[in-house]
Amino acid sequence: MNKTRPLLLFIGDLPKNLFSGFVVSLIALPLGLGLAIASEAPPMAGIIAAVAGGMVVSILGGSHLTITGPGNGLVIVILSAIVGMGEGDLYQGYLHTLGAIMISGLLLFIFGVFRLGALSEFFPSTALQGMLAAIGVGILAKQFHVMLGFTTVKGNTIDQLILIPSSLKNLLANPSTEMILASGIGVISLIFLFLYARIRNSVFQLIPAPMWVVIVSIGVMYYYDIVMKNPEVLGANLMITLPENLLASLPSPNFSKLLSSDFIGYTLSITLVAGIESLLSIKAVDKLDPLKRRSNINKDLRALGIATGISGFFGGLNVVTVIARSSVNVNNGGKNRSANFFHAAFLVLFILLFAKQIQKIPLPALAAILVYTGYKLSAPNNLIRIYKIGKEQALIFVTTLVATLLTSLTTGILLGILSTLLMHIILNKSVVLFSRNWLKPNVLMYLEEETGNYYVSVKNFCSFLNFFKLKSKLDEIPPSEHAIIDFSLCEFVDHTVMEGLNDYSRSFSRQGGFFEIIGLDIHEAKTEHPFAIRKSLPESSLFNFQVSLTKRQKLLQKLSSILNWNYLPDPVSNYVDLERFLYFKTRLINYRYNSLESQNKEFLLFDLSYSEGAFIAKEDLRSTFLQIKTCKNMPIFVLDKENFMTALFQLSGLKDINFKQHRNFSRRFYLSGENEKSIRSFFTEDLIVFFESHPAFYLESKGDSILIRGKERLASIQEVKQILSFAEELLKILENK
């Protein structure tokens, strides 16, 4: 009986997914080509992986909003596999690697069957960060040369890093037209990628940055081709070449090295990285899901395994879940797995229709995208963030990073794990704590029969070594309930656990539950606890605002004293209420600061740091908001300025509530909400006239409280005053109702 409703819902959501699938394919195309080229595989290998991933995982997978395709993390491993097994012949190496990819698909499938998704918990989070940073450095070091137009620089990551200055020198010493054009395209693309997030224009942002790079650089190539009559301005080694006939040129995987130690080693590292990247991404995407669904990671692993096998068979790279593309999907209104399918379908379409144009993409443009990706992976502020958590974390991070760069990826992560363990032993001055208690069950969870709360007690120690035990218990608690985690019997809690608990606390607060951690404060007094408190509260890790207030802060302070409100400049991470607004369904809140609160606590004005998207598609934003608590019972609605994006959303199925007798209002504003009838009766004549005659703000009601935002940036003092007076008049009208 319930079968038909989800089906109808699915069909109703199709237009939205078609749209977001399209936008994702725009970023997937350049990334697919680029990642394949960066791993010395034919450009098509990346597209094949994306297509196989999109088709298979959307049907068999267990997650909802993830996009699958070739992954950033794998570039370095696959590159070393192709170079290592090719013994000079890259194409042969590629065929051997395809074999390894197929086997790794099989392994991933088996992991999924035996429900080993939880194994990823065995990796300490800092060591993982170090490994990812090393991958980022690897991509950056190699692609930086390509971006400048040099495709012949050889050697390992360290060599290539050292050679960067000499490439720059070569470029400046005797610049030819070809080199200037190539490096110009590369460098300008890179600058553009760094600046893209600053441009807040909805039409412009509709096309992802990498696609802009590709489109514009294709335009430049056509300009040289048609206007300058110089079709070969860049050499063939700086252009993409696709096979003439896509179907006839399928490579066949080579298994002849199946039992050699090389092959086994590469297969294992490919599987390791593919698994880790996918699991991390799936977890991260779940945090962005506006419908708060939980992914079935083991089912997803099985699907990824099958997709990888198919992709490898047709000459494609590994299929992994990718965070940047998934976040683009979420931000463009993707609702279910069909978006992943559509992204694959559009890629097929692009390849079939625009094969000629795609071959006009200059490599330096793609390299710039990859350099940007590599930079984002290895971002130096990552190290600073980790250093703030603790010096020992920074040491683990650097150890893993350096070890991975100097040796191989598997050795690197292994050393990362060992150094973390060693650090824990040193910090606790005890091996016994870990050796005696590692395999013992240390978590007790029960539903307290008197209160109906879930109580979880953790004993002995809790670190990456046994976090999976705690996790498996926590996973059994519905996030809409009240959970209490008690660490008072636990002697040691590490950073991986604290970070994991932070995720749980987020997902509980998103779904209306409570997640309390107790027993850590006592604990800190007893043993010096390095990770405990620092992780959970961002305020202490941020620099102190109180020392010197900026000019704007002083003005805010003055304003608050005039209004007789309370002003608090420090960042606060208590924002539970905010997350219930629709606006924050797909955005992650970091913290709020510069809060002004009225005496009766009805008005709360604050600056908010939040982010949209993730990884290379991530945009960090800061805006000023006003939250008003009213006792009035209002319908739940969103009122926004009508613009190109809202018009597009309407095309893909979102509804705008229009008023026939108020054409002007309906044209200027985009109004939406579940309960249309009550919204219509709420928007009375005087309210509509009020909105028409005032500047347009983003306004949202969640029943008992209103959220107002000015522009998508911090408001000036003048603007703050505007917002406040707007809100006061609005309240007057609401009170007269």
Partner 1 sequence: MSSVSFKKILVGFAFSPNLKANVYEALRMADYFEGELVFVHVGRKTVEKESLFKEIVASSPAQSKKISIYWKEGNPVTTLLQTSEELHVDLILLGALKRENVVKFYLGSIARKITRKAKCSVLLLINPSVERRPCQHIVVNGFDSPQTEITIGTAFMVAKALGSKKISLVEEISRSKVAVAVDDDRSLRQATLRKEELRKQEQTRVKDVVQKLAVGLTKDVNWTTQSIFGRRGYSIGHYAKVVRADLLIMNARENLSFIDRLITRDIEHILAELPTDVLIVNSKGYE
- The size of the chain, in residues, is 737
Question: Quick one: 259 or 291, whose CB is closer to partner 1?
Answer: 291
Question: Quick one: 244 or 449, whose CB is closer to partner 1?
Answer: 449
Environment class of 159 (CB within 10 Å of its CB; exposed 0-12, middle 13-18, buried 19+): exposed
C-alpha 647, offset from chain centre: 26
460/462 Cα distance (integer angstroms): 7
Question: Quick one: 115 or 737, whose CB is closer to partner 1?
Answer: 115
DSSP bridge pairs for 612: 587, 619
Question: Quick one: 298 or 410, whose CB is closer to partner 1?
Answer: 298
| 3 state DSSP class of 252 | coil
Give the CA radius of gyration of the chain.
27
**Number of Cβ atoms within 10 Å of the Cβ of 374:** 27
Question: Quick one: 486 or 656, whose CB is closer to partner 1?
Answer: 486
Question: H-helix or E-strand containing 625?
Answer: strand 619-629
Q: Minimum distance between the CB of residue 116 and partner 1, rounded to whole angstroms? A: 12
Upper half-sphere CA count for residue 462 (Cβ side, 13 Å)? 31
Q: Minimum distance between the CB of residue 450 and partner 1, rounded to whole angstroms? A: 7
DSSP bridge pairs for 522: none
| 3 state DSSP class of 71 | coil
Q: Say which amino acid occupies 630.
A: T
3-state helix, strand, coil in the chain (%, to 5): 60, 15, 30
Q: Which long-range contacts (CB under 8 A, 24 or more apart) does 713-719 make?
A: 713/200, 713/621, 713/622, 713/623, 714/552, 714/607, 714/622, 714/623, 714/624, 715/623, 715/624, 716/552, 717/552, 717/555, 717/556, 717/559, 719/624
Q: Minimum distance between the CB of residue 291 and partner 1, rounded to whole angstroms? A: 10
Residue tagged 């990826």 (tokens): 409
Q: Minimum distance between the CB of residue 443 and partner 1, rounded to whole angstroms? A: 8
Q: Minimum distance between the CB of residue 24 and partner 1, rounded to whole angstroms? A: 23
Question: Quick one: 116 or 161, whose CB is closer to partner 1?
Answer: 116
Q: Minimum distance between the CB of residue 338 and partner 1, rounded to whole angstroms? A: 18
Residues that bind partner 1 (CB under 8 A): 62, 115, 293-299, 440-441, 444-450, 455, 457, 459, 472, 475-476, 478, 486, 489
| 3 state DSSP class of 431 | coil
135/30 Cα distance (integer angstroms): 19
415/423 Cα distance (integer angstroms): 12
Q: Minimum distance between the CB of residue 470 and partner 1, rounded to whole angstroms? A: 13
Question: Quick one: 62 or 315, whose CB is closer to partner 1?
Answer: 62
Question: Quick one: 481 or 602, whose CB is closer to partner 1?
Answer: 481
Question: Quick one: 404 or 457, whose CB is closer to partner 1?
Answer: 457
Q: Minimum distance between the CB of residue 407 and partner 1, rounded to whole angstroms? A: 36
What tokens appear for 386 in the block?
Answer: 């980790």
539/635 Cα distance (integer angstroms): 35
Question: Quick one: 449 or 528, whose CB is closer to partner 1?
Answer: 449
Cβ-contact 556, 596 below 8 angstroms? yes
Q: Minimum distance between the CB of residue 391 and partner 1, rounded to whole angstroms? A: 32
Question: Quick one: 7 or 447, whose CB is closer to partner 1?
Answer: 447
Question: Quick one: 488 or 566, whose CB is closer to partner 1?
Answer: 488
Q: Minimum distance between the CB of residue 489 and partner 1, rounded to whole angstroms? A: 6
Taking each helix axis as running N to C, give the angle between helix 261-288 and helix 409-428, from 0 to 180 degrees, rounded to the nearest 10: 60
Question: Quick one: 50 or 477, whose CB is closer to partner 1?
Answer: 477
710/722 Cα distance (integer angstroms): 9
Q: Minimum distance between the CB of residue 409 and partner 1, rounded to whole angstroms? A: 29
Q: Minimum distance between the CB of residue 377 and partner 1, rounded to whole angstroms? A: 29
Q: Minimum distance between the CB of residue 530 and partner 1, rounded to whole angstroms? A: 25
Phi, psi for residue 433 in degrees, rounded to 5: -50, -40
Cβ-contact 581, 702 below 8 angstroms? yes
What tokens appear for 143 in the block?
Answer: 């692609």
